[in-house]
Amino acid sequence: MNERDGRRAALITGGSKGIGAAIAQCLAADGWDLTLSARTRETLDATAASLRETYGVRVLTVPADMTDESAVSALVAAHADEYGRCDALVVNAGMGNKGAVESFPPRRFDRLYQVNLRAPFQLMQEMLPTLRATAGDDGTAKVIAIASSTGVYPEPELSAYGATKAALISLCETFNTEEAVNGVAATAICPGYVDTDMSEWTKGDGGIPAEQMISGADVAAVAHAVTQLGRYAVLPQAVLTRPGPQLHRA
């Protein structure tokens, strides 16, 4: 719980909308204080104001570009300074790109790598002392990384995106072999298509209707459930699929 007022605290990247905002709402409803980060100050502040008004929790906003190493470091420091603890680090900020292997630009792959894998690694590494201190000798702290089912099962034209998410899943699993004994456990949540802006490209004619996609609230429910697990329960991966004859397709 928060060192200052007995409340738990979470840092959520990509927290201004979509899955991140849904997780923020779910944790705020449970009485958590929050640090929210995203690139756009206006959207971030609007989400934070709504959470403060509705749930009466503290919400710190820290705009940050996940490709900027110094900005990621400043985000970690700002959260630690504000709350003195981190019960959950929610690594949600990410980007997607579609393209066949034969034509996908390597430069675009580099950006996917920066946002979807390098930034999560840096966040986990730099927040680790605070996570360990929060868990203490008998408690727990969680890392929740929003990956994708394309990191588990192949999806045509999503090779670059899926590769970064597969690596994120692997990062969480290896992190657990080192840190779960310290009470700090990581879970990679791997949903299929979620009804967010990132999935707009597949909602058109012949695509998947928004109402048939996984909702942000569904992902948030899984994330919240992970925060309820005790010190000796580790969930390395949670795959969340849509119904249908091909359950393992996004």
25 membership: H or E segment, kind and range: helix 18-29
Assess if residue 1 is contained within a domain: no
The answer to whether position 166 is within a domain reads yes
pLDDT at 177: 98
So what's the pLDDT on residue 187?
98
Residue 77 lies inside a defined structural domain of this protein: yes
Check whether 46 has a pLDDT greater than 80.
yes
User: The domain spanning residue 215 has which CATH number?
Assistant: 3.40.50.720
User: Which of 46-55, 107-116, 240-249 has the lowest average pLDDT?
Assistant: 240-249
Q: What is the pLDDT of residues 200-248, one digit of tens each?
A: 667 666 677 777 789 999 999 999 999 999 999 999 999 998 887 766 7
> Would 61 be classed as within a structural domain?
yes
For residue 193, the model assigns a pLDDT of 86
Per-residue pLDDT of 179-207, as tens digits, reads: 999 999 999 999 988 877 666 667 666 67
Q: Active-site residue among 83, 161, 193, 232?
A: 161
Lowest mean pLDDT among 9-13, 29-33, 208-212, 219-223: 208-212
Instruction: Return the H-helix or E-strand segment holding 73.
Output: helix 69-83
- Alpha-carbon distance of 12 to 23, in angstroms, equals 8
Q: Is 161 annotated as catalytic?
A: yes
Q: What is the count of structural domains for the chain?
A: 1
Task: Note the pLDDT of residue 3.
Answer: 54
Q: Residue 122 domain-assigned?
A: yes
Is residue 22 domain-resident?
yes
Q: How far apart are CA 51 and CA 72, in angstroms?
A: 23
* Residues 190-199 as b or e (16 or more Cβ within 10 Å = b): bbbbbbbebb
Residue 98: the pLDDT is: 87
Q: Which pLDDT score, from 0 to 100, does residue 121 have?
A: 98
The torsion angles phi and psi of 136, rounded to 5 degrees, stand at 60, -150
Q: What is the pLDDT of residue 1?
A: 46
Question: Residue with structure tokens 């840190």?
Answer: 179
Residue 247: inside a domain: no
The verdict on residue 54 lying in a domain is: yes
- Assessment of whether the complete model's pTM goes beyond 0.95: no
- Which amino acid, residue 34? L
Q: Which domain holds residue 86?
A: 9-239
